[in-house]
Amino acid sequence: MPQSEFEKMKAGQWYSCLDPELDAMRARAHEAVHEHSMMSPSERGNIAPKLRALFAECAEDARIETRFHCAYGVNIHLGRDVFINVGCTILDTASVIIGDHSMLGPNVQIYCAQHHKDPELRKQHLEIALPVTIGRNVWIGGGAIILPGVCIGDDAIVGAGSVVTKNVEPGVTVVGNPARVMGDRA
């Protein structure tokens, strides 16, 4: 039996992102994000119930400020004491793991989807999903962009506005576009 586009996505194969099953999953995520954004903070708590229920894993004390967007939600794993500030976007076509005590500044963007480079195949809406892993106690400054397939090691810092195109070793600080190691933390 042929694989569904969702099964291809989960398996890390090329898939068509315009598919009825994926459309329905994105609509469910949009509803959950909408609930999260519209609830009063006292009613919502750290994360609105529908949004929390979507996630693959979510520690009780993880917190997401409003104006948040995710593609599916089902691939997001949030560790203990994770803080996601206002305006963050997670396009979770693959697994996105954010480790304990990590913080994302305002408007951080995490992308797992990579569209096909061949223009004819791109017209067919083909993309591949590459996971993103953010270790424990990582600080990602506001406006940073994390590209598909990137791993950021424990205790690393990503400077505001940086574009992370490659893995970041534990304990280092990276800045710029593309992000490069800055040197010792002070």
Q: Two tokens at 45?
A: 């708590």
DSSP character string of 91-153: E-SS-EEE-TT-EE-TT-EEE-EEE-SSHHHHTTTEEEE--EEE-TT-EE-TT-EE-TT-EE-
Q: Which of 34, 115, 116, 125 is catalytic?
A: 115
The three-class DSSP label of residue 46 is coil
Contact call for residues 163 and 177 (beta carbons, < 8 A): yes
Distance CA 129, CA 144 (A): 20
Verify whether residue 115 is a known catalytic residue.
yes
Q: Distances in Å between the alpha carbon of 114 and those of 18, 79, 178?
A: 14, 25, 17
Q: Is the separation of the CB atoms in 102 and 89 below 8 Å?
A: no
Tokens (6 digits) for 176: 């710029």
Helix (H, G, I), strand (E, B) or coil at 160: coil
Show which residues are catalytic. 115
